[in-house]
C-alpha cells in the first residue's frame, strides 16, 4: 500500500469517528433538552367580580315621630351597629325599654318590600317591641282588643306595619305569600302584623274575607 492510500484510509477513519462522535453528542443534547421540565405559561384567570349586596330599611315611627334609614346587612352578614339602631328605634315607646330583635324580622320586612316591588319604600311602624307591662295594658283596656296574651311583640319577633301607597289587603296578601311567619290582618285599624314565629294567619275587626266572598257570590246568583 502506498503513502497516498494509507493517508486516504486514515482520513476516512478519522472522518467516520468524528461523525459518530458528533451524532452521539447531538443525541445526548436532544435527550438533555427533552429531560428539562418546561413550565407551561398560563394566563391568570380573570378575577370574578363580587357584588356587595346591602340590605337597608327605611322606617317612620307613628308614635315617636322618629325616622330611620339604616343598612343592617351586607354580604350576608348582619351589621351589629345597624341592628342596634333598629332595636332602639323599635323600643317600647311607652316604657322606653329596648330588646334585641330577631334579625329574621328585618329580613322579613326587606323581603316584603321586594315582593311589593317597593324596595326603597318607607315602612310606617304602628308597634314594635312591647314589654309585658305594655302588652298587658293594651290587652286589658277593653273587652276586645285583638292583643294576644303571649304576643310575639314581647319576644321581639313582631312588628305592626303600614306601607304608604299599599292597601292593607295587598300588604296582608304579600306577607302571606312569603310564608315566613305569622300574619295578622287588621282592616279596621289598617295595619298588618308580621312576625317570625310559627306560620299562621288571623283577622281582627272588619268583615271577614270569607263572609264578603259568600255575599258577593250570592249577589251574583240573584243577578
SS (H, E, C) the chain: CCHHHHHHHHHHHHHHHHHHHHHHHHHHHHHHHHHCCCCCCCCCCCCCCCCCCEEEEEEEECCCCCEEEEEEEECCEECHHHHHHHHHHCCCCCCCCCCCCCCHHHHHHHHHHHHCCCCCCEEEEEECCCCHHHHHHHHHCCCCCCCCCCCHHHHCCEEEEECCCCCHHHHHHHHHHHCCCEEEEECCCCEEEEECCCCEEEECCCCCHHHHHHHHHHHHHHC
Query: Are 123 and 89 within 8 A, CB to CB?
Result: no
The model's confidence at residue 4, banded by pLDDT at 50, 70 and 90, is low
Q: State mean pLDDT over 120-137.
A: 97
The model's confidence at residue 141, banded by pLDDT at 50, 70 and 90, is confident
Q: Which of 35-49, 158-172, 198-212 has the highest mean pLDDT?
A: 158-172
At residue 126, does pLDDT exceed 90?
yes
Q: State mean pLDDT over 71-89.
A: 97
Instruction: Locate the domains of the chain by residue range.
Output: 54-210
The pLDDT of residue 206: 76
For the record, the C-alpha cell of 129 comes out as 317591641
Question: Which range has the worst mean pLDDT, 101-105, 129-133, 142-146?
Answer: 142-146
Phi, psi dihedral angles at 201 (to 5 degrees):
-150, 155
At residue 197, does pLDDT exceed 70?
yes
In words, the CATH class of domain 54-210 is alpha beta
For the record, the C-alpha cell of 163 comes out as 306601607
Question: Which range has the worst mean pLDDT, 23-27, 131-135, 183-187, 217-221?
Answer: 217-221
The model's confidence at residue 142, banded by pLDDT at 50, 70 and 90, is confident
Amino acid at each position: 500500500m502506498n503513502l497516498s492510500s494509507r493517508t486516504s484510509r486514515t482520513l476516512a477513519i478519522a472522518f467516520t469517528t468524528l461523525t459518530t462522535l458528533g451524532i452521539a453528542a447531538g443525541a445526548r443534547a436532544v435527550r438533555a433538552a427533552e429531560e428539562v421540565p418546561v413550565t407551561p405559561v398560563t394566563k391568570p384567570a380573570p378575577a370574578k367580580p363580587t357584588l356587595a349586596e346591602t340590605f337597608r330599611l327605611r322606617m317612620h315611627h307613628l308614635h315617636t315621630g322618629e325616622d330611620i334609614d339604616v343598612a343592617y346587612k351586607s354580604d350576608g352578614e348582619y351589621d351589629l351597629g345597624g341592628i342596634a339602631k333598629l332595636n332602639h328605634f323599635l323600643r317600647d315607646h311607652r316604657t322606653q325599654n329596648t330588646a334585641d330583635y330577631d334579625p329574621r324580622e328585618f329580613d322579613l320586612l326587606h323581603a316584603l318590600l321586594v315582593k311589593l316591588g317597593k324596595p326603597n319604600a318607607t315602612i310606617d311602624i304602628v308597634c314594635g317591641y312591647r314589654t309585658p307591662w305594655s302588652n298587658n295594658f293594651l290587652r286589658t283596656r277593653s273587652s276586645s282588643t285583638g292583643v294576644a296574651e303571649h304576643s310575639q311583640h314581647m319576644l321581639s319577633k313582631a312588628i305592626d306595619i303600614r306601607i304608604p301607597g299599599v292597601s292593607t289587603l295587598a300588604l296582608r296578601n304579600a306577607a302571606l305569600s312569603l310564608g315566613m311567619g305569622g300574619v295578622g290582618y287588621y282592616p279596621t285599624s289598617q295595619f298588618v302584623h308580621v312576625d317570625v314565629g310559627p306560620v299562621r294567619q288571623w283577622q281582627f275587626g272588619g268583615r271577614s274575607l270569607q263572609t264578603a266572598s259568600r255575599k258577593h257570590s250570592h249577589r251574583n246568583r240573584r243577578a
